[in-house]
C-alpha cells in the first residue's frame, strides 16, 4: 500500500507581506533617523564654523573706509584709503535711497526673514540645469552675508552657509542695521563702495541730497556697475534708471508724474574727484606724515578718519603761484656755474633720493650730456654719472623756462651743460629696457612757509617747484644758514640783556682772535666800512654786519643762542661770533614761527598743521589747543618790529616798499650767496622765502633783497586779489 503524501502547509500570503513591510519600514526609519542625525550633525558642524553675525558698529570698525584731509574751510583736499567707502549709519538712511534700492533689488526686504524661497527655487532649477551655481536668487540680507561675511565665490557649500547665515543675521539684527550694511558695502562702479561714495562721485553731493532720478540711477547700477556705468554705457544706465523708477511707482514709492519727469530728465553727472583733491601737495604730505606718526598708517588708510587742518586755500594757491613765477624768472636769467671747489666736494653719482627713515632727500644734481633725441616721441636721453637716463617730459618745460627754447636742438649741437637729478621711480623704455628717469635742474629751487602768527596755524607750505617731481619738502626739511635774518634776534637779545636802544656803534673794521692764533675781521656785504656811527634801528634795517658782530661780542654769544633755541631755531647754532652773520641753520617754517614772536609782541608757541582728528564714529581723537607763552617783553618785540618796518622802507627789503603799510621783515644772504632769505609779514600772515640750489652752489649776485623779496611781493599781491 502506497504511502499517502502529506500536503505541504502553505504560508499565509498576507502575513509574509506585513513582515516584509515592517522590515522595510524599519530600515527606512533607521535610514531616516541616521539621515536626520547626519543632517543635524552636518548643520551643527557647519553652524559651529560660521562667522559671528556683527552689529553695525562691529561691521563699521572692521570695514575699510576713506580718510579725508580737510582745509580750514572744510574743503576736501586729500583722501587716503584701501577701499573708497564712507559709511551710512542705520539712523541716517535717506528714504529715497531705501525705496530705490528695494525697488531695484528686494521689494520684500521689510517683510521676509532673510530668504526669498521663490527666488531660491528658481535659482536651484537653473543651477541644476547648468550643473553649477550660476544664480543666487539673493535677498539684500543674503548679499550682505556674501559681501561682508563669506565672499563672492560660487559653490554649493558657500551657498549653504549663506542661507544659514541669512536667517541668523535676520534673527540677530534689525532691518535698518542690515540695510545700512548693504548701503555701505555695495560696489557702485568707479572704485566707489556704498551709496555715500557713489553720490559724492557721480553727482557731487551727499546721499541725503539725491533727487528721485539720481537715487534710481545709483540703485540701477547695483546689478552691473561697470557694464552700466553712466560714463561707459549711458544708454544702459538710463535704461536701468527707467526700470527702477517704474518699480518704485508699482510699489507706491513714487508718484507716476514724478517718475515720468525723473525718467525724462538728462543724467547730470558730476563724475569726478572732489574739486580740490590734490591741492597743496607739500602741505598734505606733511599732514600725512604727522597723522601717520600719531596714529599709524593703518588707521589713516583704513579707519575713515577726518583730519582737520589749518590749510588756507587762498594763501596756498597764492604761495604756489608766487613760487612758480619766481622760479621761472630766476631760471630765465640763467645760472652761475659751480666753482671748482664745489665740484670737487660733490659726489658725482645719481642717488635714489630716499633716506633711511623714509623722508625724501634733497635732489642730488650732477652734470649730464644729451646723447639722443626723438622729437616725435618726446624723448631726450642723457648720460649722467656713467648711466643712460631719460629726461622726464616735465623737464622740457623747465628747460624752455631756463632759456632753452628748443631742448631737442641740444642733440644736434652735442650740447652738455645740463644738470640733472634722479626722478622718483623709473620709467620703462620700450627699446632699451627699464631706464632711470631724471629731472632737469635748470636753476635754484625755492620754498615758502606761511603761518598765522597769532595762532601759529600753518596756512601754506610750498616745498619746491613740483611735489610730483621733487617730493623733498624744503619748507620743513631744509635747514640752511639763516644769514642776516638772525639779526632781529641778536638785537632783541641785546636789548633784553640791558643794551640801550639809544646805543650807537661805529662802522669800522675790527679784528677778533680765533683759534690757532688766527684773527678774524668781519666784513660788510659791500666789503667796505664807511666809518659812520649807526643807531640800532638803522644798523638793523640796513643789515650792517660789523655793527652786529660788535654788539654780539659785547652781549655774549650765549644770550643770543639761548633766544634762538627758545624761539625754535631747529638747526645747528654755533657758539662763536659767526652767529652774528647767520651761521645758525633753520628751516623756512621754523624761521616763520620764530619771527612770529615779533608779530605777537613777544609771545611764542608751536606751529601746527593738524587742528583736529575725528574717527568714523565722530569721536574726537585729537584737538589742538594753543598755549602761547612769553619769550620777550612787549616793548622789545615792538621795537624790533618797528625796525623791521624801516628795513622795508629804507633798508635791504626795499623791493617790498610798494606794498601797503603793515609790511615788515628782514632779508638774509648767506656766505657766497648760497642762500637768499626773506622773512616778513603783511600784517596778518608771517611768510618766509628760501631760495638756493639744493647742493648749495653760489648764486652770483643773489641777495635776500633782490632774489627772495620778489617772491614775497608776488605772494602778497596774488593773495590780496583772491
Does the pLDDT value for residue 354 go beyond 50? no
Average pLDDT of 109-113? 91
Predicted pLDDT of residue 155: 64
Give the burial class of 620: count Cβ atoms within 10 A of its Cβ; 0-12 exposed, 13-18 middle, 19 or more buried: exposed
Distances (CA, A) of 481 to 496, 543, 711: 24, 16, 19
Report whether 178 contacts 92 (CB < 8 A): no
What's the rounded Cα separation, in Å, for the pair 635 and 136?
Answer: 80
E-strand ranges in 428-538 read 435-440, 445-451, 458-462, 480-481, 504-506, 512-513, 519-520, 533-535
What does the radius of gyration of the chain's CA atoms come to, in whole angstroms?
A: 38
Give me the half-sphere count of Cα atoms (radius 13 Å) on the Cβ side of residue 413: 10
What's the rounded Cα separation, in Å, for the pair 402 and 389?
Answer: 21
User: What number of other Cβ atoms are within 10 A of residue 294's Cβ?
Assistant: 13
**Buried b / exposed e across 350-374, counting CB within 10 Å, b at 16+?**
beebeeeeeebbbbbbbbbebbebe
Residue 2 grid cell:
502506497
Q: How confident is the model at residue 117 (pLDDT cuts 50, 70, 90)?
A: low
Predicted pLDDT of residue 40: 53
Most confident of 29-33, 115-119, 308-312, 379-383: 308-312
Better pLDDT: 703 or 52: 703
Average pLDDT of 141-146? 91
Largest Cα–Cα distance of the chain, in whole Å? 176
Better pLDDT: 352 or 479: 479
Does the pLDDT value for residue 376 go beyond 50? yes
How far is C-alpha 623 from the chain's CA centre?
Answer: 20
Residue in 447, 444, 448, 462 with CA at minimum distance from that of residue 330: 444
What's the rounded Cα separation, in Å, for the pair 16 and 3?
Answer: 32
**Buried b / exposed e across 684-693, counting CB within 10 Å, b at 16+?**
ebbbbbbbbb
What's the rounded Cα separation, in Å, for the pair 73 and 80?
Answer: 19
Report whether 46 contacts 162 (CB < 8 A): no
214-223, 365-374, 407-416, 695-704: range with lowest mean pLDDT: 407-416
- What sections of 49-80 are H helices per DSSP? 56-62
User: What number of other Cβ atoms are within 10 A of residue 711's Cβ?
Assistant: 28
* Length of the chain in terms of residues written: 722
Computed over every residue of the chain, the mean pLDDT equals 85
Residue 518 grid cell:
688766527
Predicted pLDDT of residue 13: 53
Predicted pLDDT of residue 132: 47
Residue 607 grid cell:
606751529
Better pLDDT: 270 or 50: 270
Q: How confident is the model at residue 660 (pLDDT cuts 50, 70, 90)?
A: confident
Instruction: Tell me the percentage of the chain whose pLDDT exceeds 90.
Output: 63
Residue 129 grid cell:
540645469
**Buried b / exposed e across 642-662, counting CB within 10 Å, b at 16+?**
ebbbbbbeebbbebbeebeee
Find the angle CA(646)-CA(543)-CA(520) to the nearest 5 degrees. Answer: 165
Helix (H) or strand (E) holding 250: helix 234-250
What's the rounded Cα separation, in Å, for the pair 285 and 469?
Answer: 14
Better pLDDT: 426 or 220: 220
Q: Which residue has the cell 536667517?
A: 167
Does the pLDDT value for residue 356 go beyond 50? no
Dihedral, CA of residue 554, residue 556, residue 562 and residue 565, to nearest 10: 80
Average pLDDT of 378-402? 75
Q: Residue 55: which residues within 8 A CB-CB, separation 6 or more? A: 173, 177
User: What number of other Cβ atoms are within 10 A of residue 556's Cβ?
Assistant: 13
Residue in 599, 578, 574, 584 with CA at minimum distance from that of residue 664: 599
Average pLDDT of 611-615? 97
Give the burial class of 95: count Cβ atoms within 10 A of its Cβ; 0-12 exposed, 13-18 middle, 19 or more buried: exposed
Q: Helices H, strands E: what count in the chain?
A: 25, 25
What's the rounded Cα separation, in Å, for the pair 2 and 647?
Answer: 158
Helix (H) or strand (E) holding 309: strand 306-309
135-139, 535-539, 632-636: range with lowest mean pLDDT: 135-139
Report whether 448 contacts 324 (CB < 8 A): no
Backbone angles phi, psi at 445, to 5 degrees: -105, 170
Report whether 598 contacts 637 (CB < 8 A): yes
Helix (H, G, I), strand (E, B) or coil at 366: strand
Does the pLDDT value for residue 679 go beyond 80? yes
Report whether 489 contacts 563 (CB < 8 A): yes
Integer distance in angstroms from the first to the last C-alpha of the chain? 143
- Domain ranges in the chain are 85-264, 336-442, 447-608+626-720
Q: What DSSP character marks residue 360?
A: B
Does the pLDDT value for residue 349 go beyond 80? no
Task: Give yes or no on whether 85-264 and 447-608+626-720 have one common fold.
Answer: no
Better pLDDT: 29 or 343: 29
81-95, 105-119, 182-196: range with lowest mean pLDDT: 105-119
For domain 447-608+626-720, which architecture applies?
A: 3-Layer(aba) Sandwich (3.40)
Does the pLDDT value for residue 290 go beyond 80? yes
Instruction: Tell me the percentage of the chain whose pLDDT exceeds 70.
Output: 81
Q: How confident is the model at residue 401 (pLDDT cuts 50, 70, 90)?
A: low
Q: What DSSP character marks residue 573?
A: -
Distances (CA, A) of 20 to 14, 30, 31, 544: 10, 15, 16, 124
Q: What DSSP character marks residue 708?
A: I
What's the rounded Cα separation, in Å, for the pair 312 and 73?
Answer: 8
Q: Which residues pair with 440 in a beta bridge?
A: 420
Q: How confident is the model at residue 429 (pLDDT cuts 50, 70, 90)?
A: very low
Does the pLDDT value for residue 414 go beyond 60? no
Distances (CA, A) of 528 to 91, 507, 550, 579: 77, 9, 16, 20
Give the burial class of 289: count Cβ atoms within 10 A of its Cβ; 0-12 exposed, 13-18 middle, 19 or more buried: middle
Backbone angles phi, psi at 374, to 5 degrees: -140, 95
In tens, the pLDDT along 146-181 reads 888 886 666 666 677 788 888 889 988 999 999 999
Does the pLDDT value for residue 134 go beyond 60? no
Q: Which residue has the cell 678774524?
A: 520
In tens, the pLDDT along 240-270 reads 999 999 999 999 999 999 999 999 999 888 8
Does the pLDDT value for residue 544 go beyond 60? yes
Predicted pLDDT of residue 397: 64
133-142, 315-324, 616-625: range with lowest mean pLDDT: 133-142
What's the rounded Cα separation, in Å, for the pair 345 and 619?
Answer: 54
In tens, the pLDDT along 14-46 reads 566 777 777 767 777 666 666 655 545 555 555
Report whether 713 contacts 693 (CB < 8 A): no
Helix (H, G, I), strand (E, B) or coil at 420: strand
How far is C-alpha 126 from the chain's CA centre?
Answer: 49
Average pLDDT of 312-325? 97
In tens, the pLDDT along 592-611 reads 999 999 999 999 999 999 99
Query: According to the 3-state scheme, what is the secondary structure of 132-167?
Result: CCCCCCCCHHHHHHHHHHHCCCCCHHHHHHHHHHHH
Does the pLDDT value for residue 549 go beyond 90? yes
Q: Residue 521: which residues within 8 A CB-CB, separation 6 or more? A: 509, 510, 511, 512
Instruction: Name the fold adopted by 85-264.
Output: Penicillin binding protein transpeptidase fold (1.10.3810)
What's the rounded Cα separation, in Å, for the pair 627 and 457?
Answer: 12
Query: According to the 3-state scheme, what is the secondary structure of 493-508?
Result: HHHHCCCCCCCEEECC
In tens, the pLDDT along 490-527 reads 999 999 999 999 999 999 999 988 666 688 899 998 77
- What is this structure's pTM? 0.85
User: What number of other Cβ atoms are within 10 A of residue 108's Cβ?
Assistant: 12
Amino acid at each position: 500500500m502506497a504511502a499517502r503524501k502529506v500536503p505541504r502547509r502553505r504560508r499565509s500570503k498576507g502575513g509574509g507581506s506585513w513582515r516584509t513591510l515592517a522590515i522595510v519600514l524599519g530600515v527606512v526609519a533607521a535610514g531616516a533617523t541616521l539621515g536626520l542625525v547626519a543632517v543635524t550633525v552636518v548643520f551643527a558642524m557647519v553652524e559651529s564654523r560660521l562667522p559671528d553675525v556683527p552689529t553695525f558698529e562691529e561691521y563699521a570698525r572692521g570695514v575699510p573706509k576713506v580718510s579725508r584731509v580737510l582745509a580750514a574751510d572744510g574743503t576736501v583736499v586729500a583722501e587716503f584709503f584701501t577701499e573708497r567707502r564712507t559709511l551710512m549709519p542705520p539712523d541716517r538712511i535717506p528714504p529715497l535711497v531705501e525705496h530705490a534700492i528695494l525697488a531695484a533689488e528686494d521689494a520684500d526686504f521689510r517683510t521676509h526673514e532673510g530668504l526669498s524661497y521663490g527666488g531660491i527655487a528658481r535659482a536651484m532649477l537653473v543651477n541644476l540645469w547648468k550643473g553649477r551655481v550660476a544664480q543666487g536668487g539673493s535677498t539684500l540680507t543674503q548679499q550682505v552675508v556674501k559681501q561682508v561675511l563669506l565672499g563672492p565665490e560660487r559653490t554649493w557649500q558657500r551657498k549653504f552657509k549663506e542661507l544659514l547665515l541669512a536667517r541668523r543675521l535676520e534673527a540677530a539684527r534689525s532691518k535698518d542695521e542690515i540695510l545700512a550694511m548693504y548701503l555701505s558695502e555695495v560696489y557702485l562702479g568707479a572704485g566707489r563702495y556704498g551709496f555715500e561714495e557713489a553720490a559724492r562721485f557721480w553727482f557731487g553731493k551727499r546721499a541725503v541730497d539725491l533727487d528721485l532720478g539720481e537715487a534710481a540711477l545709483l540703485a540701477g547700477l547695483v546689478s552691473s556697475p561697470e557694464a552700466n556705468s553712466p560714463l561707459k554705457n549711458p544708454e544702459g544706465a538710463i535704461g536701468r534708471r527707467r526700470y527702477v523708477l517704474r518699480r518704485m511707482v508699482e510699489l507706491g514709492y513714487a508718484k507716476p508724474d514724478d517718475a515720468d519727469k525723473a525718467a525724462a530728465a538728462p543724467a547730470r553727472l558730476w563724475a569726478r574727484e572732489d574739486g580740490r583733491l590734490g591741492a597743496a601737495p607739500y602741505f598734505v604730505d606733511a599732514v600725512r606724515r604727522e597723522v601717520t606718526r600719531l596714529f599709524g598708517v593703518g588707521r589713516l588708510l583704513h579707519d575713515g578718519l577726518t583730519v582737520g587742518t589749518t590749510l588756507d586755500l587762498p594763501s596756498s594757491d597764492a604761495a604756489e603761484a608766487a613760487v612758480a613765477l619766481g622760479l621761472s624768472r630766476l631760471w630765465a636769467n640763467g645760472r652761475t656755474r659751480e666753482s671748482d671747489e664745489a665740484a670737487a666736494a660733490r659726489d658725482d653719482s645719481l642717488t635714489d633720493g630716499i633716506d633711511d627713515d623714509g623722508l625724501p632727500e634733497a635732489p642730488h644734481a650732477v652734470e649730464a650730456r644729451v646723447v639722443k633725441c626723438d622729437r616725435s616721441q618726446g624723448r631726450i636721453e642723457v648720460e649722467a654719472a656713467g648711466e643712460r637716463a631719460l629726461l622726464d617730459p616735465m623737464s622740457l618745460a623747465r628747460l624752455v623756462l631756463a632759456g632753452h627754447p628748443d631742448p631737442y636742438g641740444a642733440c644736434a649741437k652735442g650740447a652738455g651743460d645740463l644738470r640733472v637729478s634722479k626722478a622718483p621711480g623709473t620709467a620703462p623704455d620700450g627699446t632699451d629696457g627699464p631706464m632711470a628717469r631724471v629731472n632737469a635742474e635748470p636753476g635754484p629751487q625755492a620754498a615758502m612757509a606761511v603761518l598765522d602768527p597769532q595762532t601759529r596755524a600753518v596756512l601754506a607750505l610750498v616745498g619746491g617747484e613740483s611735489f610730483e617731481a621733487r617730493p623733498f619738502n624744503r619748507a620743513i626739511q631744509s635747514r640752511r644758514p639763516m644769514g642776516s635774518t638772525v639779526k632781529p634776534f641778536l638785537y632783541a637779545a641785546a636789548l633784553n640783556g640791558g643794551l640801550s636802544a639809544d646805543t650807537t656803534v661805529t662802522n669800522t673794521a675790527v679784528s677778533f682772535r680765533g683759534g690757532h692764533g688766527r684773527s678774524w675781521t668781519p666784513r660788510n656785504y659791500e666789503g667796505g666800512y664807511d666809518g659812520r656811527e649807526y643807531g640800532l634801528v638803522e644798523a638793523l634795517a640796513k643789515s650792517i654786519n660789523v655793527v652786529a658782530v660788535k654788539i654780539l661780542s659785547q652781549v655774549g654769544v650765549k644770550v643770543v643762542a639761548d633766544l634762538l633755541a627758545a624761539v625754535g631755531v631747529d638747526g645747528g647754532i654755533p657758539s662763536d661770533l659767526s652767529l652774528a652773520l647767520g651761521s645758525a641753520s633753520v628751516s623756512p617754517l621754523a624761521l616763520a614761527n620764530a619771527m612770529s614772536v615779533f608779530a605777537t609782541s613777544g609771545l611764542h608757541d608751536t606751529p601746527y598743521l593738524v587742528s583736529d582728528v575725528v574717527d568714523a564714529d565722530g569721536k574726537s581723537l585729537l584737538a589742538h589747543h594753543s598755549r602761547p607763552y612769553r619769550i620777550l617783553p612787549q616793548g622789545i618785540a615792538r621795537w624790533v618790529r618797528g625796525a623791521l618796518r624801516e628795513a622795508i622802507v629804507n633798508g635791504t627789503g626795499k623791493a617790498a616798499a610798494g606794498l601797503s603799510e603793515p609790511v615788515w621783515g628782514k632779508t638774509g644772504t648767506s656766505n657766497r650767496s648760497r642762500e637768499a632769505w626773506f622773512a616778513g609779514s603783511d600784517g596778518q600772515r608771517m611768510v618766509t622765502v628760501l631760495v638756493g640750489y639744493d647742493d648749495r652752489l653760489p648764486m652770483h649776485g643773489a641777495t635776500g633783497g633782490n632774489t627772495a623779496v620778489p617772491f614775497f611781493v608776488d605772494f602778497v599781491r596774488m593773495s590780496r586779489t583772491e
